Amino acid sequence: MFSTITSGTVCGIGSHLIQVEVDISKGLPCFQMVGLLSSEVREARERVRVALKNSGISLPPMCINVNLSPADLRKEGTMFDLPVAVGILACLGHLPGESTAGTVLLGELGLSGEIKPVRGILPIVTRAKESGMRRCILPHDNAMEGAVVEGIEIIGVTDVAQTVEYLKGLQSGRKDLIEPAHIDVMSLWKEPDGANALDFADISGQETVKRAAEVAAAGFHHLLMTGPPGSGKTMLAKRIPSILPPLSLQESLEVSTVYSVSGLLHSAQEILVTRRPFLNPHHTITGQALAGGGRVPVPGIISLAHRGILFLDELPEFKRETLDILRQPLEDKVVQIARSSGVYLFPADFMLVGAMNPCPCGYYPDMGKCRCAPYEVRRYLGRISGPILDRIDICVEAAPMKFRDISGRAAGESSARIKERVMGARQMQAQRFAGTQLRFNADMGVAQVEKYCVLGAQEKGYMERMFSAMQLSARGYHRILKVARTIADLEQCGGIRKEHLSEAICYRQMWE
Amino acid sequence: MTEETEKAYIHWLCQAAGMGSGSFLRQLEQAGTARDVYDMAKRGILEEKLHIRYKHRAQRLQAAVKDYDVMGKYKDMRDRGICLVTCRETDYPEKLAAVQDAPYALYYAGRLPDHRKRSIALIGARSCSEYGRYMAKEFGAALARAGVQIVSGMARGIDGIGQMAALGAGGYSLGVFGCGVDICYPSGNRELYERLLAEGGVCSEYPPGVGPRAVLFPPRNRIISGLCDGVLVIESKEKSGTLITVDMALEQGREVYALPGRATDALSAGCNRLIRQGAQLVMSPQELLEELLADFNACPDRKVYCQQTLFIPEGVQGELLQLLDFQPKSMETLQEAYVSTYGKSVTVPALCHELLQLCVDGYAGCSNGNYYLIKG
C-alpha cells in the first residue's frame, strides 16, 4: 500500500514542492520518517499518531515508512503534519488515492486533531500555482493569506476529520462541502486609516527637516538627521511612511512574502502587508539580527524593512561592524547569506533613515553648551564608515526645539498634501526610467546621473562657482545632482534649475 | 671649564631634580657649580653638605648619578636643536628673569623672543566659538604685523589660532609648553608646531621627553605671562585655565586686556567678569597697539567691528544678512527670525538659495553644515 501527497517547504524566501511518500506494509510495527528532516519535522510522527487516534482512526500495528522527497533538501517547519496524516489515511484505504491528485496540503496538527496555522504560506502557494497544481488545502487561519494568489483553489480546514470528509466528498463529486476561500485583494487597501495614524501635521516647526524628508521620500534617498537630543528626529522619522506612496500589489506581495516566511502574517486581520514597513531596531542589535542569519537563514530587520523604512536612531552608537553589514545591501538591495546548503537571497530595498547627535554631548555647534573637543566631534562622526555615508544623499540638521514649537503654533502641513507632491515626483521618475532597471533617482549611478541630470550652461556655471565657494568634493557632486533632480521632480520641472541645485547643496554632508 | 660643559651638568641637574625645584637649584649654587654638585653626588657626600631640609632631594640627586652619561645626553639634546639657558645668563629672557619664581633653566628650540620688542600673550578657551576664532585671527595677525610678539600655549582653540595667524602675517610667535619641547601637544597642532620651530620658537621649563600631564600646565602659565608685557583674553568661560594665566599676570604686574562678549555668552562670561574687575577692554587690535606701543601713531583706518556692512544687497538677501551674526545660526532659526522680523514667510528652498548666494558672494559663511554666519 503506497501513496504520494504533495506538500511544500520554504527555503529563504523561495519555496519548493515536496512529495510526501507513505508506504505501509507488513512487518515489525514501526513508524519511520526519512528525507533530511529537522527535528520539528521528525516529531510529526508523534503528533500524527495521536491526532489520528483522537480523530477516531487508530494506526494498525504495521510498518509505516514516510519519505519526504527530494531527499537531499533539508526540510524545516511543521507544515508536513497534515500531508503525512493524509498520506497514511490514503494508504490505509480511508481515502480514495486520486482525491489528492493536484492538491497541495499544508498544516500543523494538534493532538486533538485540529489543524493549526503555519508560516510561509504565500511563497508555497505561489509555487504550487506556478507548478500547475489545482488546489491547496491549508489551515483555516491561513486560508485568506493563500487566497491572495489567484488562479488556484484554496480550501481552509479546521481539523483532520473535516479534511477527510472533504476529500471523500470530492471523489463522490460533492465539491460544496467547503467553500473555497476568496478575498478581494484590493479591499485590503481600503482599510480605514484610523485617527491614530501618524501625520506630519503633528509637527510644528522643523520646516527644514520636514522639507528634507519630503525630498528624501520623493526620490527614495537615504536620509541622515543630525540634531541635539529632543529635537524631534524620531518623531519625524516615524511619520515618513505617511508621505510615501502606498505599496503597489506587486510590492505588497514581495513584502508579504518576507513577512510570511518570518511567521509574521499570522493574524487574521493582516492578510497582506499593505502599509510601508517601518523598522526601528535598537542600537544594541547584532549583525545577524539586522541582516538575517541563523543556521537556516531567516530574514533580518533590513529585509523586513523591504520597500519601507529602516530607521536607525543614534546611528554612531551602533557597532561599527553591524553598520558595515549594511554596505552590500545598500549597494545591491538584496542580502546574500551563504550557507553550506546554498546561497540565500533576501530582498532589502529599504530607505535608510538615520538620526544622530552632532557630538557626544549633543549640543555642538552651540559652543555655549557643548563640552566636546573638536577631535571628539570628529571621532563621533568617524564611527560611521565612509562607504555608508557615501550612500546617504541627504543630510539635514535639526535645530533644538523651541517653546513655541512645543506649545503648538499653527499645525504643520498634513501628510496627505505632502504625499500628493511626492506621488507627482514619483510619476516623473517612472516616466523617466521607463524601460530601465531604475526606479528612483536615488538608484542612479554616475553614468545615469550624467545621462539624466543634464545641466544648462547657466546652471553649470553656477555649480562651478558653488564648487569652489562651498568647497564641495567631487564625490558630493553627483549626490547633489541626484538630489537636485528629485527637487525638480517635486516641482514637476523638466530641467534642473539653480534653486534646485542650491537646495540640494544645503543637504550635503556637513563633514565634507 | 667651558660654559657648554657646565650646561651639560645643569641639564643633568634639571632632569634629576624634577619639577618645581627652582628655589632648590638656586640654593645649590651656594655649594658650587653644577659640576661640583655632580661630583659630590657621585661621592655620596652631597647629603651632608646641604641643609637638612633638602635631604630627600639630595638623596634623589645621588641616586640619579648612576649610569648617567652627562656629556652624551647633553650632546644628543643639542643635536636635536634644543638649547638650554639658565637665569644666570644674559640670553635668558629679561622680562621673565624679573619674575619672582622664574624657572631656573629654560629649554627652547627655535628663537626666544626679543626682549626689546613688545610681547603679548594671546590666550583663551580651547573650545571656542566662531566669534572667538575670528577675533583670535584678527588680533593675532594685526598685532604680529605691527611687530608685537605673540606668546601663547599652543593649545587648540584661541591659543593656536592666534599663533597661527601671527605666523601667517609674517610675525614672531613663541609657544610655551607644559611638556618637553620635543613633544607636540596637542598633536592636532602639528602644522603650527613645525612652523613655530622654523619661524618662531617653542620653550618649556621641563626637560625634553617629559610627557604632557595635567599638573604640568598651570605652572607653565606663569612663564607665558612672565614673558609678556600684557595678557589678552579673547574668550573664556567663567571657570577656565585661562584665568590662571590672568592671575599669574596680575601677580607679576602685567597688564590684562580682555575682549568683551555678550552677557548671554557662556564663552565670554570670563572676559566680561575680568573687565568688571578692572581689566582693560579692547575692541580692536589698533586700540591695543596704541596702548602697547608708545610710538604707535593713532591709526586713522582703525578697524571697527561693530560697523554695519556698507553695501547691503537688496531684497531677501539683504534682509537675511541683517539677521546673520558671528554666532552661527541654523536655517531653522533664520527662517523663524525672518518670519518674526519681517512678517513675511520664506520657504525652505528659497532660504537655501538666498543663503548660498550670500556665501558665494562673500557676505556670509557657513559652518558645520547648515549653520550660517557673517563673514568678517
Q: What is the pLDDT of residues A185-208, one digit of tens each?
A: 887 777 655 545 788 888 877 888
Instruction: Name which of A345, A320, A318 is nearest A333 in CA terms.
Output: A345
A356 Cβ contact partners less than 8 Å away, ≥ 6 residues apart: A224, A225, A226, A314, A315, A316, A384
Q: Which residue of B has its CA nearest to A211?
A: B348
A510 contacts B370? CB cut-off 8 A: yes
Q: Are residues A302 and A408 in the same domain?
A: yes
A369 contacts B127? CB cut-off 8 A: no
Residue type for position A200 = F
Domain final residue pick, B29, B48, B79: B79
Pairing outcome for strands B255-258 and B280-281: parallel
Count of domains observed in chain B: 3
Q: A358 touching B, CB under 8 A? A: yes
Q: How many angstroms separate the CA of residue B352 from the nearest CA in chain A?
A: 5
B127 contacts A374? CB cut-off 8 A: yes
A470 contacts B359? CB cut-off 8 A: yes
E strand spans, B81-217 = 83-86, 105-110, 119-123, 149-152, 173-176, 201-204
Instruction: Name which of A380, A360, A382 is nearest A371 in CA terms.
Output: A360
Whole-number Å distance between alpha carbons of A364 and A231 = 13
Is residue B226 domain-resident?
yes
ipTM: 0.75
CB atoms within 10 A of CB B129: 26
Q: What is the CA radius of gyration of chain B?
A: 25
Domain final residue pick, B47, B63, B79: B79
Distances (CA, A) of B220 to B200, B203, B208, B256: 18, 10, 15, 18
Q: Are residues A236 and A337 in the same domain?
A: yes
pLDDT of residue A89: 94
Is residue A429 domain-resident?
no
Q: Is the overall model pTM greater than 0.80, yes or no?
A: no
Q: A395 touching B, CB under 8 A? A: yes
Q: How many angstroms separate the CA of residue A194 from the nearest CA in chain B?
A: 31
pLDDT of residue A195: 45
Q: Hey, which residues 343-372 in chain B have their CB within 8 Å of chain A?
A: 348-350, 352-353, 355-357, 359-360, 366-371
Q: Are residues A165 and A277 in the same domain?
A: no
Q: Are residues A137 and A240 in the same domain?
A: no
Q: B106 touching A, CB under 8 A? A: no
Residues of B in contact with A395 (CB under 8 A): 369
Is residue B341 domain-resident?
yes
> A284 is written with which cell numbers?
544594541
Whole-number Å distance between alpha carbons of A155 and A163 = 9
Q: Are residues A155 and A230 in the same domain?
A: no
Q: Are residues A507 and A484 in the same domain?
A: yes
Q: Evaluate whether A381 touches A511 at the Cβ level (below 8 Å).
A: yes
Q: Evaluate whether B311 touches B318 at the Cβ level (below 8 Å).
A: no
Q: Are residues B331 and B287 in the same domain?
A: no
Is residue A345 domain-resident?
yes
Residues of B in contact with A508 (CB under 8 A): 369
Q: A373 touching B, CB under 8 A? A: yes
Q: A406 touching B, CB under 8 A? A: no
| Percentage, residues of chain A above pLDDT 90 | 53
B16 Cβ contact partners less than 8 Å away, ≥ 6 residues apart: B60, B61, B64, B65, B68
Residues of A in contact with B367 (CB under 8 A): 365
H-helix segments, A383-492: 386-391, 403-406, 415-432, 446-452, 457-469, 474-490
Q: Are residues B131 and B186 in the same domain?
A: yes
Is residue A260 domain-resident?
yes
Q: Are residues B180 and B323 in the same domain?
A: no
CATH of the domain at A472: 1.10.8
Residues of A in contact with B350 (CB under 8 A): 499
Whole-number Å distance between alpha carbons of A161 and A113 = 8
- Which residues span the domain enclosing B48? 3-79
Q: Evaluate whether A472 touches B360 at the Cβ level (below 8 Å).
A: no
Distances (CA, A) of A414 to A204, A423, A438: 11, 15, 29
> What end-to-end distance do the CA atoms of chain A give, in Å?
75
CATH of the domain at B341: 1.10.10.10
Q: Are residues A457 and A411 in the same domain?
A: no
Q: How many angstroms separate the CA of residue A200 from the nearest CA in chain B?
A: 16
Instruction: Name which of A254, A302, A251 is nearest A281 in CA terms.
Output: A302
Place of cell 564663552: B267
Residue A471 dihedral angles phi and psi, to the nearest 5°: 50, 55
Q: How many angstroms separate the CA of residue A506 from the nearest CA in chain B?
A: 6
CATH of the domain at B233: 3.40.50.450
Q: Are residues A178 and A119 in the same domain?
A: yes
Give the DSSP H/E element, type plus range, for residue A137: strand A135-139
Count of domains observed in chain A: 3
Q: Are residues A476 and A510 in the same domain?
A: yes
Residue type for position A448 = Q
E strand spans, chain B = 83-86, 105-110, 119-123, 149-152, 173-176, 201-204, 230-233, 255-258, 280-281, 329-330, 364-367, 371-374
pLDDT of residue A256: 92
Q: Are residues B274 and B164 in the same domain?
A: yes
Q: Hey, which residues 118-157 in chain B have their CB within 8 Å of chain A?
A: 126-130, 156
Residue type for position A300 = G
- Which residues span the domain enclosing A87? 2-185
Residues of B in contact with A358 (CB under 8 A): 368
A493 Cβ contact partners less than 8 Å away, ≥ 6 residues apart: A500
Q: Hey, which residues 210-239 in chain A have their CB within 8 Å of chain B?
A: 211, 226
Is residue A434 domain-resident?
no
pLDDT in 10s for each residue of chain A, 512 residues: 899 999 999 988 889 999 999 999 999 999 999 999 999 999 999 999 999 999 999 899 999 999 999 998 889 889 999 999 999 999 999 998 788 999 999 999 999 999 999 999 999 999 999 999 999 999 999 998 899 999 999 999 999 999 999 999 988 888 778 889 888 888 777 765 554 578 888 887 788 899 999 999 999 999 999 988 888 888 899 999 989 988 888 899 999 999 998 888 766 567 888 888 999 999 999 999 999 988 888 899 999 999 999 999 999 999 989 999 999 999 889 999 988 878 889 999 999 999 999 888 888 877 777 778 777 888 888 888 888 888 899 999 888 776 656 555 566 788 889 999 999 999 999 999 998 888 899 989 889 999 999 899 999 999 988 888 777 777 788 899 999 999 999 999 989 999 999 999 989 876 65
pLDDT of residue A219: 94
Sign of CA dihedral A214, A217, A222, A223: positive
Q: Are residues A209 and A181 in the same domain?
A: no
Q: Are residues A384 and A240 in the same domain?
A: yes
pLDDT means per 10 residues in chain B (376 residues)? 82 82 78 86 82 81 86 92 91 91 92 92 90 91 93 93 95 94 90 94 93 91 94 93 92 94 91 94 90 69 62 81 83 86 88 87 78 78
Domain final residue pick, A185, A217, A241: A185
Q: Are residues A213 and A248 in the same domain?
A: yes
Is residue B95 domain-resident?
no
Is residue A191 domain-resident?
no
Q: Are residues B252 and B347 in the same domain?
A: no
